[in-house]
Structure 1
């Protein structure tokens, strides 16, 4: 997948809210992720971000994945309601599991 110059994915930091800029037809384009960690390869070929899938109804362990940064973009506008839901998600037991993973 070629990276277009217009996607906002430079200098992703912990807590950034991202999505796939060009989702596949079988993927939900509204799926968002929260960045837990990012690594920028100096050559730019294998820069990756570890993200947790935001799913407010998830009752089990959070879905944590690694994706190429070139496939992601920051969500341009996040509503206050969604920010509140994300804050609750991160403070829940799921969020505690994520923090434990980061500390360990």
Structure 2
């Protein structure tokens, strides 16, 4: 299996808030993403998640990307304020096409 016991990335679901567990030096370690879809490969080699980057300041439509689940970890504690900001972000930036997939 590709999952590490050190990182909480098992059974990611739609709406989970995640980040890279080991970001590159030039990346912000506090960048968070919202899971839109996840696929766990039965062979454990190419499990992936479709994510949207949480960025309130962006004026553009957010880019949806696919990443290996083994590179992600669930954000352990999310404040109620941040949850509210994410909910507003998903409603205002992405529209009904994606918010309907999420359970917020």
Band the TM-score falls in, shorter-chain normalisation:
0.7 to 0.9
Kept after mapping to 1: 8 A contact 2:39/2:47: yes
Q: What is the aligned length?
A: 99
Q: Which residue of 2 is the match for residue 6 of structure 1?
A: 6
Q: Superposition RMSD on alpha carbons, in Å?
A: 1.8
Are positions 1:24 and 2:44 aligned together? no
Kept after mapping to 1: 8 A contact 2:17/2:34: yes
Kept after mapping to 2: 8 A contact 1:41/1:47: yes
* Structure 1 length-normalised TM: 0.88
SS in 2 for 1:37: strand
Q: Which residue of 2 is the match for residue 96 of structure 1?
A: 95
Q: What is the CA distance between 1:3 and its match in structure 2?
A: 5.6
